[in-house]
Amino acid sequence: MENVTGLRENKKLRTRRQLAATALELFLERGFDAVSVADVAAAAEVSKPTLFRYFPSKEDLVLDRFADHQDEVARVVRERTAGQTPLRAVHAHFLAALAERDPITGLCDHPNVVAFVRLVYSTASLETRLAHYTAREVELLAEVLEEESVQPLAARLAAMHLVAVRHELGRENWRRIDEGLSADEAHPAAVADADRAFGMLADGLDNALPARTA
């Protein structure tokens, strides 16, 4: 029975990936707003109800790959080494991801990744839906911090800051790539930005931001 269940789950995963790949190909070819859910279903040779069983919305056909990263920061914090603070763990992980040109950092110039990110950031409904995935990242990280006896409000605020820094760094890195820099060319500035951004959190905003002058 376990083997049957495993085969069934593998088949669902393959179907899910096929649907997402078919949709992305159409969106990149024609534009997100020019392709309907019916178009995707027809191209994938499934019914619309079947498609919606796998993806709640048209936007999720594109953004579902972000779901694979929703627990990433929470996992990094949970698995950090003894004596390492959550902030330092997330900072170190982000620097390592930059070195690997991980697409999630925005510092990736592979043509397929560039086309995908350009689609997301140029489509208003995708940007709006992306907030759903970001909120889930914050929720998962806050849960980990609360498990370590961090007060709930403090856990949520810390999670919001850490997740926001990662996302804003990713956008800045993408901006450089979109302007024509290679990932290698943009890497030094990306590292400097990451050190500065996480340093602002580590030192406290009062120390990082100037007081108002008379």
Tens-place pLDDT, residues 50-103 = 999 999 999 999 998 888 788 999 999 999 999 899 999 999 999 999 999 999
CB atoms within 10 A of CB 39: 15
Q: What is the pLDDT of residue 204?
A: 87
What pLDDT score was predicted for residue 2?
58
Give the pTM: 0.88
DSSP 57: S
What is the distance between the alpha carbons of residues 114 and 100, in angstroms, rounded to a whole number? 16
* Residues 67, 58 contacting (CB under 8 angstroms): no
DSSP label of 81: P
Measuring CA to CA, which residue among 21, 187, 12, 120 is closest to residue 195? 187
- Residue found under tokens 């920061």: 73
DSSP 7: H
**Which single residue is written with the structure tokens 């085969």?**
7
What is the pLDDT averaged over residues 28-49? 96
pLDDT at res. 69: 85
Return the closest-CA partner of residue 60 out of 86, 74, 40: 40
